[in-house]
Amino acid sequence: MLDSVNHHRGFFALQNEDYGRVIKTHHTEAAATSPRPIAARKMAPKKAVGKALAKKKPEKVVNPLFEKRPKQFGIGGALPPKRDLTRFVKWPKAVQIQRKKRILKQRLKVPPALNQFTKTLDKNLATNLFKMLLKYRPEDKAQKRERLLKRAQEEAEGKSHDAKKPIVVKYGLNHVTYLIEQNKAQLVVIAHDVDPIELVVWLPALCRKMEIPYCIVKGKARLGAIVHKKTASVLCLTTVKNEDKMEFSRILEAIKANFNDKYDEYRKKWGGGIMGSKSQAKTKAKERLLAKEAAQRMS
């Protein structure tokens, strides 16, 4: 029995060997008869220009005695490196209030009496006006002391001193109001940023009633510099020198055309109502959608 099993095993092993040889010869013949594949062209390696030019950096000598310890920036650890703290700055309260006030003035509806203070004198005319005002600056403390000292010396020597009143810019709200009521003022200059605005909000109406040229300029600090003060709400000129009369009349005509003649227009014009960029974008998108729907209905 065992002999017959071994005989069969040997027979099958021979059969498998013959089959393997046949398959191998078939593959070799097929490979010999098939056309040889064309070898893909290889690109020439690029010349390392940069590497050749670059100099080798000298190796940093590290002392093995010094152990590298990475910094720990936690609480009680190393101080963090300096960084730009612009975004972390807290603005002063005054600056915050100014900015909020400006935004509110843009968003809310502003009545005409207040809105007229946004219509200021144009730059070229304002430059000419301030040049004129600088010629008539009042004396400062040092000049006044010098004048009084000179006058006292003249009186002590028995000389007659010239008591002619100088032509200067008048300032101070009460004083200017009095000059307007007495019809002595020839030009009134009002600052646009008086706070509270109620101090001067009625002044344009008074100037128009008395038919006195007035203008609104930027700003109270610039007016204050003319009269040696930090700020000034209002200035006025009662008269000018003969050599300046031609230039002064030209300035008055331009100011009348811009302010006195346009008073009725400014009296009816409301201000504000300007929304932010996001709100404007939403409104425009809504308008586009409505226009599109209307066009579809028409078609």
> Quick check: is 130 in a domain?
yes
Alpha helices (H) in 34-57, listed in sequence order: 49-53
| pLDDT per residue as tens digits for the range 128-140 | 999 999 999 998 8
pLDDT value, residue 22: 46
Q: What range does the domain containing 124 cover?
A: 96-157+164-272
Average confidence score pLDDT of the chain? 84
Q: How many domains are there within the chain? A: 1
What pLDDT score does 151 carry?
A: 85
pLDDT value of residue 12 = 46
Beta bridge partners of 272: 109
Q: What pLDDT was estimated at residue 143?
A: 86
Determine the longest span between alpha carbons in the chain, in angstroms: 168
Q: Is the pTM of this model over 0.85?
A: no
Measured in degrees and rounded to the nearest 5, phi and psi for residue 217 equal -125, 165
pLDDT-wise least confident of 146-150, 159-163, 217-221: 159-163
| pLDDT exceeds 90 at position 200 | yes
Q: Is residue 232 part of a domain?
A: yes
Residues 159-188, mean pLDDT to the nearest whole number? 89
Which of 148-157, 165-174, 250-259 is the least confident region?
148-157
Does any domain span residue 100? yes
Tell me what pLDDT residue 43 has: 65
Mean pLDDT over 188-194 rounds to 94
Q: What is the pLDDT of residue 231?
A: 95
Q: Is the pLDDT of residue 145 over 80?
A: yes
Examine residue 238 and state whether it is found in any structural domain, yes or no: yes
Q: Find the mean pLDDT for residues 91-117.
A: 92
What are the helix (H) ranges across 34-66?
A: 49-53
Return the closest-CA partner of residue 207 out of 167, 263, 168.
263
pLDDT digits (tens, 9 = 90+) for 5-50: 444 455 444 455 555 554 555 555 545 454 555 555 666 666 655 5
Q: Would residue 208 count as lying in a domain?
A: yes
Q: Domain for residue 263, yes or no?
A: yes
The answer to whether 185 touches 237, Cβ cutoff 8 Å, is yes
Q: What is the arithmetic mean of pLDDT over 86-113? A: 91
CATH number where 153 lies: 3.30.1330.30
